[in-house]
Chain A
Amino acid sequence: MPTDRELVARVLVDDDRHAFGTLVREHQAATRAFLRRLTSGDAALADDLAQETFLRAYRSLASYRGEARLSSWLFAIAWRVFLSDARRRRDVLLGDGASDALAAEAAPAPPLDGATERHDLERAMRALRADERAALALCFASDLSHEEAASVLGCPVGTLKTHVQRGKEKLRKRLAPWREEVAP
């Protein structure tokens, strides 16, 4: 199995589409999952953004230096694509998450089955700012270090840690009453 670097080299030198396809198949699930978290579970929008992410990656592959993991490099592109789209749509408030919070409040009650916790979490995540959602998704779901996540989001490590702390705090507050409701 060729490494990511070998595949990147094949794309750059020979414009090898098959090699690029292999890279996409390898990284599509993580990139789409990250974008689904950013878009609060809107799978169609997330997939559109993921397509744009990989197209941009193809065009700028020569700028990939191999210093970071390819997945991190793709996350960084995905984050910029998401921000551009959010600014264009103006339906995501990057500042205070107020509209997302309202959406979370208006969402239907979760089913009381094995998926309840995850459903609760996804509802609560909608109330977070986009950068808090991204920080939590990268540090926990994608298992990046704080340094890697900060690099993806283009912010200092201290700022990243603040996003993580604030995000967790908001989630704890939102999840607490729901847990009390379902607690035996």
Chain B
Amino acid sequence: MSTEHDDADLERLLRAPKPPIDDDGFTDRLLARLPPRRRTEPWRVTILLGFTLAAALVGVLVPGVRELMFGAPVDLVLPGSVLPVTAAVLVAMALWGATALATAEP
């Protein structure tokens, strides 16, 4: 028997389909082993976002607090001040952090 013939014969054997494997409860057993469902508790999200927004508004709107919160860092980095942009960035970061905290798995 030639090598080419052997090769074709072997490949035919290797490709030959086997009987399909029935699920036979495999998927159900697996689903029962999955880790607990991720839970996002609405009250937690509401409280954290509410406090964050309130703090951000106070920081942006009240002049004394605004200077205290944003003035010094901005003066340090960019003398001349870009207060609205910095404030927006900080508020966005606070919101992002609060959302991540609220939706984090216990």
Contacts and interface: CB of A to CB of B under 8 A. Distances in A.
Contacts of A25: 23, 27
Given A117-B16, A121-B13, 10 more contacts: A20-B34, A21-B27, A28-B21, A28-B27, A29-B22, A33-B21, A51-B30, A117-B13, A118-B13, A140-B15
Interface string B1-21: 001001100110111101011
Interface of A: 15, 17, 20-21, 24-25, 28-29, 32-33, 36, 47, 50-51, 54-55, 58-59, 117-118, 121, 136, 140-141, 143, 168, 171-172, 175-176
Nearest to A51: B30
A28 B31 contact: no
Contacts of B13: 117-118, 121
Contact of A15 (B6, B15, B20, B38): B38
A121 B15 CA distance: 11
Given A32-B21, A33-B21, A50 B26 contact: yes
A29 B34 CA distance: 19
A175 B10 contact: yes
Most A Cβ at <10 Å: residue of B6, B11, B21 = B21
B34 A118 contact: no
A87 B58 CA distance: 59
Nearest to A121: B13
Given A29-B21, A59-B35, A143-B15, A54 B30 contact: yes
A136 B14 contact: yes
Nearest to A15: B38
Nearest to A36: B21
Contacts of B10: 168, 171-172, 175
